[in-house]
Amino acid sequence: MFRAGGLAHVDCRRPRVLSTEERALLFLHCCDHSVECAPCASSFCVSELGSDLRGHTNLCPHCRQDLTDGVRAHLHKCDMISEEVRRRAQAVRAVSERLVKESYEPGEAADLLRQEIETAVRALKEAMRESSAGIPEADSGPTLR
């Protein structure tokens, strides 16, 4: 999980949860795109996916199957997101997964991975800013005032 101050604890029980950056990309570019639910043999818009009181998100509205992996797969191949942003998002995810696996190891490896993640997140955010620079203000999503 990433916060304004940098990297925070990753929920080890739910390492598959979408990052803040992945959710931002979904909101900006993919909210009306479809994700398949194999058990239901149906597809749903990302904006139609449900959540529950335990904090699980990206659930099929019919059978409650967790579709997070399908949502993430969509992010990594969606043509509405620039190749540079997709590549950087995949890099952040890969380093994050390594950190979760190695965080139980003593030593400096976890600290180095945290620094690598923070660097990757900064690069992703910069790529996202550059990618959205061409989006007209009305299409860039809601702004908070």
The predicted-structure confidence for 74-128, as pLDDT tens digits, reads as follows: 988 999 888 888 888 888 888 877 777 776 666 677 677 778 888 888 888 888 8
Q: What is the mean pLDDT of residues 66-75?
A: 92
pLDDT score at 85: 87
12 close to 83: Cβ distance less than 8 angstroms: no
- Could you tell me the residue ranges of all domains in the chain? 19-79, 82-132
N residues, the chain: 145
pLDDT score at 106: 63
The predicted-structure confidence for 13-42, as pLDDT tens digits, reads as follows: 455 788 888 888 888 889 899 999 999 999
pLDDT score at 3: 46
- Between CA 93 and CA 3, with CA 144 as vertex, the angle to 5 degrees is 30
Query: Does the structure show a pLDDT above 80 at 135?
Result: no
Query: Does the structure show a pLDDT above 60 at 6?
Result: no
Which of residues 109 and 144 earns the better pLDDT score? Answer: 109
Closest C-alpha to 62, from 76, 41, 46: 41
User: For 104, phi and psi rounded to 5 degrees?
Assistant: -85, -10
- Cα(132)–Cα(29) distance, rounded to whole angstroms? 10
CA dihedral 116, 81, 19, 118 (to 10 degrees): 20
